């Protein structure tokens, strides 16, 4: 017999009413920030004999031992076992952590994978809320919502910085890479359906992601396979099947089926979206984008910045400044939130000429996407080592200097049709 857990044993309230709650710096006891220190959130499928149901372990300091207002590492591994559990369901469960942790009164969560950010308020701390309670919430929520596949669940939360580094680099990132690789041989043309995702409507009520094999959700945590698994686990849940029978415009990737779905799922706020254009009917963004791409008029190309990048871009804007122009579930031609893996996709801004438009990226991001991006550039345009032509913050953050560099490299964007 499976028992629904209705009361979660924590010293603060737990309700979806707290989901949109924001905790300001001055009100926070401590924070955890995956964009600055090593963090991760992960579901791991194990044999039933390997875990103890409802066991919650904290490895490292508790909130009491952290300095007031400090930035810390956190990594939680939720081990699950069940006869019907499949590794394909792991990312689906993981993506729900955002909602689960946000429902805690006085606790705020954004992001996913190794980029999550959590704040615990002074009030929640004073009420007795501790790291171990995050484990209680994850345990109870996973058991509740995924009882069809999870029989046993154990949570290990690391706050020891060295352990967080180990979990992030040796366990989490290889797991994420393996998942992303499974998509390699799938194309948008080779599948019969796409999926919608509206998981982020709690924050961005009109936002809808359309997830295709070659365009993952902008959070980077929902691939087409993940959306498919989400739909299998919960046919009435956040991911719905979208057929792709009535193509309107192949160039920008516009389908009547997609438009109908988006209209319905955005409650009429959105009319039509394209899959492959940043200028014409672009997809909306919530706030969880891994990257933002924006047009750079001097070079006739686009600049991409990732969330971890703290510096200036040639647009004269930092990532947070670009984010303020991009989020909120409205269409903003010229700006687009997207996942890191979309950068190497053949469908990236296909309508505007594709990845050949990329003129600048932070060095770290460039290195992260180099293999895939170079492979795609070679295949589509016959360009070798395309990333060598792309600027970064060590080359230029000034648009004129950037154009100088691009000219020297013979970057293709300079001679392409104007974007505006
Ligand atoms: Fe779903 Fe998009 Fe939100 Fe990711 S960003 S959880 S794909 S709605
Ligand atoms: Zn979102």
Is 193-415 CATH 3.40.50.1100? Answer: no
Tell me if 66 CB under 6 Å of ligand 1. no
Assign residue 403 a region: left if phi > 0, alpha if psi is -120 to 50, beta otherwise? alpha
Q: Is 197 in the pocket of ligand 1 (CB under 6 A)?
A: yes
Per-residue pLDDT of 355-396, as tens digits, reads 999 999 999 999 999 999 999 999 999 999 999 999 999 999
Alpha-carbon distance of 225 to 275, in angstroms, equals 17
Q: How far is the CA of 408 from the centre of ligand 2 (A)?
A: 39
Asked whether residue 213 carries a pLDDT value surpassing 50, the answer given is yes
pLDDT tens-digit readout, 304-359: 999 999 999 999 999 999 999 998 888 999 999 999 999 999 999 999 999 999 99
| Confidence check: pLDDT of 5 > 70 | no
ipTM, two decimals: 0.99
CA-to-CA distance for 296 and 298, rounded, in angstroms? Answer: 6
Ligand 1 binding pocket mutation candidate from 206, 221, 292, 326 (most atoms within 8 A of CB) = 221
Residue 19 binned pLDDT confidence (cut-offs 50, 70, 90): confident
The length of the chain in residues reads 420
Mean pLDDT of all residues belonging to the chain:
95
**Residue 143 CB–ligand 1 contact under 6 Å:** no
CA of 200 from ligand 1 middle (Å) equals: 6
Q: What element of type H or E holds 134?
A: helix 131-145
pLDDT at 1 over 70: no
Kindly report, residue by residue over 146-158, the tens digit of the pLDDT. Answer: 999 999 999 999 9
Q: Which residue has the tokens 């409205």?
A: 330
Q: Is the CB of 217 under 6 A from ligand 1?
A: yes
Residues 268-312: tens digit of each pLDDT: 999 999 999 999 999 999 999 999 999 999 999 999 999 999 999
Which of 94, 102, 200, 208 has most ligand 1 atoms within 8 Å of CB, for mutation? 200
374 contacts 385 by C-beta, under 8 angstroms: yes
Alpha helices by DSSP H, 86-130: 90-95, 97-102, 122-126
The DSSP bridge pattern shows strands 117-121 and 107-110 to be antiparallel
What is the per-residue pLDDT across 49-103, written as a single tens digit (0 to 9) for each?
Answer: 999 999 999 999 999 999 999 999 999 999 999 999 999 999 999 999 999 999 9
Residue 4 has pLDDT above 60, yes or no: no
> 318-354: buried (b, 16+ CB within 10 Å) or exposed (e) per residue?
ebeebbeebbbbebbebbbbbbbbbbbbebbbbbbbb
Task: Please state the pTM of the whole predicted model.
Answer: 0.86
**Rounded distance from Cα 140 to ligand 1 centre (Å):** 23
What share of the chain has pLDDT > 90, as a percent? Answer: 93
Q: 288 CB under 6 A from ligand 1? A: yes
Of all ligands present, the nearest one to the C-alpha of 287 is: 2
182: confidence class by pLDDT, cuts 50, 70, 90: confident
| The pLDDT value given to residue 124 | 98
The CA distance from 70 to 63, in Å, is: 10
| Nearest-atom index, ligand 1, CA of 95 | 6
For 66, the token pair is 């952290």
**Pocket lining: 302 vs ligand 1, CB cutoff 6 Å:** no
In the chain, where does the domain assigned CATH 3.30.1650.10 lie?
16-181
On whether the CB atoms of residues 69 and 28 are closer than 8 A, the answer is yes
Fold of 16-181: 3.30.1650
| Predicted pLDDT of residue 6 | 64
**pLDDT per residue over 226-284, tens digit each?**
999 999 999 999 999 999 999 999 999 999 999 999 999 999 999 999 999 999 999 99
What pLDDT score does 420 carry? 80
CATH 3.40.1470.10 domain range(s) in the chain: 193-415
């Amino acid at each position: 017999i499976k028992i629904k857990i209705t009361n979660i044993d924590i010293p603060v309230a737990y309700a979806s009413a707290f989901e949109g709650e924001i905790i300001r710096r001055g009100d926070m006891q401590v924070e955890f920030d995956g964009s600055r220190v090593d963090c991760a959130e992960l579901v791991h499928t194990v044999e039933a004999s390997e875990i103890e149901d409802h066991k919650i372990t904290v490895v490292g300091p508790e909130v009491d031992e952290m300095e007031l207002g400090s930035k810390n590492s956190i990594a939680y591994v939720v081990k699950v076992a069940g006869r019907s559990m499949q590794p394909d369901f792991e990312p689906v469960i993981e993506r729900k952590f955002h909602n689960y942790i946000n429902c805690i009164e006085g606790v705020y969560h954004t992001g996913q994978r190794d980029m999550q950010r959590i704040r615990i308020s002074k009030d929640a701390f004073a009420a007795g809320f501790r790291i171990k309670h995050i484990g209680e919430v994850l345990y109870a929520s996973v058991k509740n919502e995924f009882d069809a596949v999870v029989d046993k669940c154990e949570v290990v939360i690391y706050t020891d910085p060295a352990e967080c580094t180990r979990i992030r680099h040796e366990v989490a990132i290889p797991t994420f890479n393996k998942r992303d690789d499974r998509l390699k041989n799938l194309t948008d043309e080779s599948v019969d359906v796409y999926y919608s995702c509206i998981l982020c409507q709690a924050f961005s009520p009109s936002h809808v992601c359309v997830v295709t094999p070659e365009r993952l959700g902008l959070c980077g945590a929902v691939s087409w396979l993940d959306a498919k698994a989400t739909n299998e686990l919960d046919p009435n849940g956040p991911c719905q099947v979208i057929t792709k029978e009535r193509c309107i415009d192949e160039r920008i990737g516009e389908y009547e089926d997609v438009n109908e779905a988006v209209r319905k799922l955005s409650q009429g706020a959105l009319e039509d979206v394209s899959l492959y254009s940043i200028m014409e009917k672009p997809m909306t963004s919530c706030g969880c984008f891994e990257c933002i791409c924006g047009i750079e008029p001097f070079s006739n190309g686009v600049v991409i910045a990732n969330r971890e990048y703290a510096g200036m871009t040639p647009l004269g804007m930092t990532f947070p400044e670009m984010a303020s122009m991009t989020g909120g579930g409205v269409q903003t031609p010229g700006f687009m939130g997207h996942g890191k893996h979309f950068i190497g996709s053949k469908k990236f801004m296909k309508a505007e000429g594709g990845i050949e438009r990329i003129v600048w990226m932070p060095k770290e991001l460039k290195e992260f996407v180099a293999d895939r991006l170079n492979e795609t550039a070679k295949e589509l345009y016959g360009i070798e080592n395309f990333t060598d032509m792309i600027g970064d913050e060590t080359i230029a953050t000034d648009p004129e200097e950037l154009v100088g560099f691009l000219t020297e490299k013979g970057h293709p964007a300079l001679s392409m049709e104007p974007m505006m």
